[in-house]
A and B are shown apart, each in its own frame.
Chain A
């Protein structure tokens, strides 16, 4: 995949198959749009996205919601899904004034060489979000490009969207987010030296300093999770939030890798949250906490087996085979 930063660096590719959006999380609805581009004949599959988030420019007083994926994470996901060209447009005040028609004519047709555009039915674009699918249809006939409106993926009676997944995660339903993203929701960071309390309790944990500014942090709790580093994937139980049993301890993100023995300090690690197991509670003694941790680990193991260890192939197997 070619990553082009800035419109001025784009070389037009005639017949390009184009889609525009922030594509945060690359969820199952996004994936359907990209699959329909892969089925289409034409130029390179081109994804256009904006940096920074347009809302930072249009509504500086009202910051955009926390993101499901950092730009680096999105780039990796786009590459894997078959996008051939990623165009990052610098979104500034001038760009925000561009009308929908000019955006199509100057940017999509002029710069990119668009032959077909792929959008969801609710897609809006241009100054003040004035452009919609109907306008695209008119312009498509006039300038002869095709407009493919891809039906949304509907779950629980409504289209899957990034904002719905954010709400789902924030409400504590990591399992549903896993289903809608087709992969667990990931936090990533570096393993740092903790206080060694976990080790003392019989459950040494990897403490994470989170990377990725603006990334959504799910609500405090204990999660069944998978830890990934290098090419390894390991079942784990993760704590997110305050540690009320130890009043002096700051909130943390830490993960007990079930049955793992080894040194992970300094490594980059991803924690994929598969399901939320319980709230954080204060215990009267470390012994009680340790007993609860034992139960948490058992719960995590059971949940992970039932949730196919956060594997997307197993998730699809469950969808298709049961």
Chain B
């Protein structure tokens, strides 16, 4: 994505703040030009808001739909009250172990690189803050929630931990980042829009 923008920007220095999982959608802050890329560091540590859809019944090795199913249980999605109760328990500062497929480094090695080689490297649990967590939908297939969390929170892991607390297995079906600090997805430009504006002659974004 960043490559596409860099090409459209005529090779100007281009970078982004905060990675977005490959399967995820939503907001990414992209800086174009030296001045903008320099400011990207300020945006890395901002809180994030996501909407997530949880597929109930099966856990995958990656925690998302791209992975292999590693555990299954044919049980109905828990009731609304049960889910709300579980969500309440995950609010505040909670310990979270980054998933095997993540960009977190252990001993200088990215976890996903070790995982792809079939190695088992365990990351240490670390504290993250879940500031808001609410159920927005529930049906037979699973449920959807909205979360506002500190930087460094893995929503994939949150979904797995929630499933465990609810006595079942689950993985994220969809994940959409809707806010980074005061930057809202509602105000963002689409990738096509950015590329179009850049190639139309404008050099700044």
Contacts and interface: CB of A to CB of B under 8 A. Distances in A.
Interface in B111-155: 134, 136-137, 144, 146
A39 B144 contact: no
Given A313-B136, A317-B144, A320-B51, A35 B176 contact: no
Contact of B146 (A32, A38, A153, A317): A317
Nearest to B25: A320
B97 to A, nearest CB: 27
Contact of A320 (B176, B181, B183): B176
Contact of A316 (B53, B178, B181, B182): B178
B182 A39 contact: yes
B185 interface: yes
B35 to A, nearest CB: 15
B85 interface: no
Contact of B182 (A28, A38, A308): A38
B146 A35 contact: no
B81 to A, nearest CB: 16
B192 interface: no
Give the size range of A's interface with the partner.
10 to 19
Contacts of B136: 308, 311, 313-314, 317
Interface residues of B, number: 18
Interface string A18-33: 0000000000100010
Contacts of A153: 186
B186 A28 contact: yes
B184 interface: yes
A39 B174 CA distance: 27
Contact of B186 (A32, A38, A308, A314): A32
B137 A317 contact: yes
A313 B146 contact: yes
B202 to A, nearest CB: 14
A163 interface: no
B182 A321 contact: no
A55 interface: no
B144 A321 contact: yes
> Which secondary structure dominates where chain A touches chain B?
helix
A316 B51 contact: yes
A311 B144 CA distance: 14
Contacts of B176: 320-321
B178 A32 contact: no
A314 B145 CA distance: 9
A35 to B, nearest CB: 6
A36 interface: yes
A311 B53 CA distance: 18
A321 B183 contact: no
Interface in B154-205: 174, 176, 178, 181-187
Contact of A35 (B51, B134, B184): B184
B145 to A, nearest CB: 9
A36 B186 CA distance: 11
A320 B144 CA distance: 11
Contact of B185 (A39, A314, A320): A320
B14 to A, nearest CB: 20
Interface in B16-64: 26, 51, 53
A313 B184 contact: no
Contacts of A28: 186
Contacts of B144: 317, 321
Contacts of B182: 35, 38-39
Contacts of B26: 320
Which of A32, A36, A39, A321 has the most C-beta atoms of chain B within 10 angstroms of its own C-beta? A321
A75 B26 CA distance: 32
Nearest to A151: B187
Contacts of A314: 136-137
20 contacts: A28-B186, A35-B182, A35-B186, A36-B187, A39-B181, A153-B186, A308-B136, A311-B136, A313-B134, A314-B137, A316-B146, A316-B178, A317-B136, A317-B144, A320-B26, A320-B176, A321-B51, A321-B137, A321-B174, A321-B176
Interface of B: 26, 51, 53, 134, 136-137, 144, 146, 174, 176, 178, 181-187
Interface of A: 28, 32, 35-36, 38-39, 153, 308, 311, 313-314, 316-317, 320-321
Given A35-B182, A38-B182, 18 more contacts: A28-B186, A32-B187, A35-B184, A35-B186, A39-B183, A153-B186, A308-B136, A308-B137, A311-B136, A314-B137, A316-B146, A317-B136, A317-B146, A320-B26, A320-B185, A321-B53, A321-B137, A321-B174
